[in-house]
Structure 1
Amino acid sequence: MAMYESDHTKFMREWLAQHPEQAAEQQKGRALWWDKPQDVRAQGALEQAKVPVKPYYYDSNH
């Protein structure tokens, strides 16, 4: 059984095969927006600083 592949996915595969220089540009864009170094200590401090949310936010009696 063949796996479904959308027209957009097919287009992007063909386009990237025809324009290999865009792979490096794609990685630069990804690094700019998504690939950030993670600080485990800072994440732990943020987790500990969280304040629990009330079950019903507008109820002032709880």
Structure 2
Amino acid sequence: PYKSEVTSFIEQLKAQRPALEAEQRAGRALLWDKPQDRAAQADFNAAKVAQQPYVYQTSDK
């Protein structure tokens, strides 16, 4: 079966660095996988402002 150059590269990289995916998950956890603060989320939701149907419109004409 056909394998693209990108697929071959990724497979080779994973073979050379078996811990690569674990490192990526650890990096993601630094920024994204955080517990949510319900009080802060409620404040964010209460502070939302309705968006105009056409976002670039500057007046109500």
TM-score for both structures, normalised by structure 1: 0.55
In the alignment of these two chains, the number of paired residues is 59
Aligned twin of 1:49: 47
TM-score for both structures, normalised by structure 2: 0.55
Aligned twin of 1:21: 19
Percent of residue pairs identical: 46
Q: Which contiguous aligned blocks of 4+ residues in structure 1 show a shift greater than 4 angstroms?
A: none
Between 1 and 2, higher relative CO (CA 8 Å, sep ≥ 6) is seen in 1
**Alpha-carbon offset, residue 6 of structure 1:** 4.5
Listed as ranges, the gaps of 5+ residues in structure 2 are: none
CA RMSD of aligned residues (A): 2.8
